[in-house]
Structure 1
Amino acid sequence: TNCWAVDNLINKGDQIILITVQPPQAHHTRKELFEDTSSPLVPLEELRELNFTKQYEIAGDPEVRDILDTASMTKGAKAVAKVYWGDPREKLCNAVEDLHLDFLVVGSRGLGPIKRVLLGSVSNNVMTNASCPVTVVKGKQSSNSHH
């Protein structure tokens, strides 16, 4: 997978944290345990397992897994995942603080117009309020777009 973020932002031995923000009304076992604190860090190996999908009700995104695989193979980066529940604008800023992130990458690939507007408000809010640099990586929306 050709991924701008991996090529340009990841250094040898970095830790990559894949952050997912779930809606607050989601109901499942892990949410009851971790809603206030967010989930523990989940190793990449567990992301591949059906168990993770069941426990957190998140379908693994194969494209994201490919990117994480590429980063671990080419840069020796260690990938883990973390799940938050609530408003992504607030939770992504919390994650920057909690995890002492050096930078945050927000993706916006292949979304419909409504989701794109929503994501726009999330990325704008995070860019304004996060205490670390934020990169928004646009996905391939049309054949003439370059990223």
Structure 2
Amino acid sequence: MADVAAKERRILVAIDEGEESLYALTWCLKNVITKNSKDTLILLYAKPPRAVYTALDGTGYLFSSDIMATINKYSNDVADRVIEKARKICREQNSDVKVEARVENGDPRDVICETVEKLGVDVLVMGSHGYGWIKRVFLGSVSNHCAQHVKCPVLIVKKPKPSVGSK
């Protein structure tokens, strides 16, 4: 048999402000990506759409451009902090891994699915908030939606719950 060079994989990890997504990133770095691999890790943060308020919404309020600029700056700052925290985890866990970061705007379900398709991702890694079925009915499950709609394997990493008596 001839030696076949390992194919570079494009692994997308969806991240947000929650510790579940950062746990999934850490798990991925320990269990999916090997040292000296040719893999590219893509960190994706989906900025949720901001609510738009107009004078017609019944409140009578119309946000000024200064307030909208402040809201946008805050949203960008949150995205930057999440991406930097994820990059730091990557450096600490596997300094050899090639990392790309993307921040996209929109509903996380759509953004993740569209980005996976657009970039030709080989594996999607996501954290799970571990909502019960009632919360999933009302809030929906981003990971479930993505697992149903993307065309690549999806790895949903569930953060272990602390055992009774531990802190």
TM-score band by shorter chain is 0.5 to 0.7
Q: What TM-score does the superposition give when structure 2 sets the normalisation length?
A: 0.56
* Aligned equivalent of 1:64: 86
Unaligned ranges ≥5, structure 1: 32-52
- Seq. identity, %: 35
State how far apart, in whole Å, the 1-side matches of 2:111 and 2:69 are: 19
What's the RMSD between the two structures over aligned residues? 3.5
2:166 maps to 1:143: no
Aligned partners of 2:46 and 2:103 also within 8 Å: yes
State how far apart, in whole Å, the 1-side matches of 2:89 and 2:139 are: 21
* Aligned equivalent of 2:29: 6
Superposition deviation, residue 20 in structure 1:
0.6
Q: Give the count of matched residue pairs.
A: 118
Higher Cα Rg, which structure: 2
2:128 maps to 1:108: yes
**What do residues 24-47 of structure 1 show as CA deviations (whole Å, max 9, x unaligned)?**
117669x7xxxxxxxxxxxxxxxx
State how far apart, in whole Å, the 2-side matches of 1:142 and 1:119 are: 24
State how far apart, in whole Å, the 1-side matches of 2:163 and 2:118 are: 38
2:44 maps to 1:22: no
Higher relative contact order (Cα pairs below 8 Å, separated by 6+ residues):
2
* Aligned equivalent of 1:87: 107
Superposition deviation, residue 63 in structure 1:
5.7
